[in-house]
Amino acid sequence: MENIYEELFEKAKKASENAYCPYSKFPVGASILYESNNIYTGCNVENVSFGLTLCAERNAMAAAVSAGEKTGIKAIAIYSPKQKECMPCGACRQWLNEFASNEELKIILEGENGLTILTLKEIFPHGFKFN
């Protein structure tokens, strides 16, 4: 197991502690590694108008763009204390597709025994893109 994935996973875990999720009580943390080797984190932020909730993954990507990063995502770790292998939702997969360095982007999750590592290609084939 590459050490950087462990580090990324620990950062996602830490980020989940900041989740604002009084309605679902389902905290999520995400941490994202870019080609620059910078790492950005995010947590879910809910709202009493439930549909306005922001996912951890998209908050992390928005933080990266706000810091000047844009494209070049190499890996993302996602963690919830409530669920092993907490997968990104469909909307977050489309966002990852937008900013991925390529479709080998690694998705790092908490498995039953250590980390589960998938690729964006596996979980989001044939994503929408302009030519």
The H-or-E segment that residue 58 falls in is: helix 56-66
Among 8, 12, 28, 105, binds ligand THU (CB under 6 A): 28
Contact 92, 57 (CB under 8 A): yes
Tell me, by CB under 6 A, how many residues bind ligand THU. Answer: 13
Q: Which stretch binds ligand THU (CB under 6 A): 4-12, 21-29, 63-71, 106-114?
A: 21-29
| SS3 category, 62 | helix
φ/ψ (deg, to 5) at 48? -60, -30
- Is 57 annotated in the active site? yes
Of the candidates 6, 7, 17, 57, the residue annotated as catalytic is: 57
**Subset of residues 90 to 119 that bind ligand THU, contact rule: CB under 6 A:** 92
Among 8, 32, 39, 55, binds ligand THU (CB under 6 A): 55
Q: Which stretch binds ligand THU (CB under 6 A): 10-18, 48-56, 100-108, 115-123?
A: 48-56
| SS3 category, 124 | coil
53 binds ligand THU (CB under 6 A): yes
φ/ψ (deg, to 5) at 78? -130, 135
What token pair was written down for 9?
């996973």
Contact 5, 114 (CB under 8 A): no
Residues that bind ligand THU (CB under 6 A): 21, 24, 26, 28, 44, 46, 53, 55-57, 88-89, 92
Which sequence positions are flagged as catalytic? 57
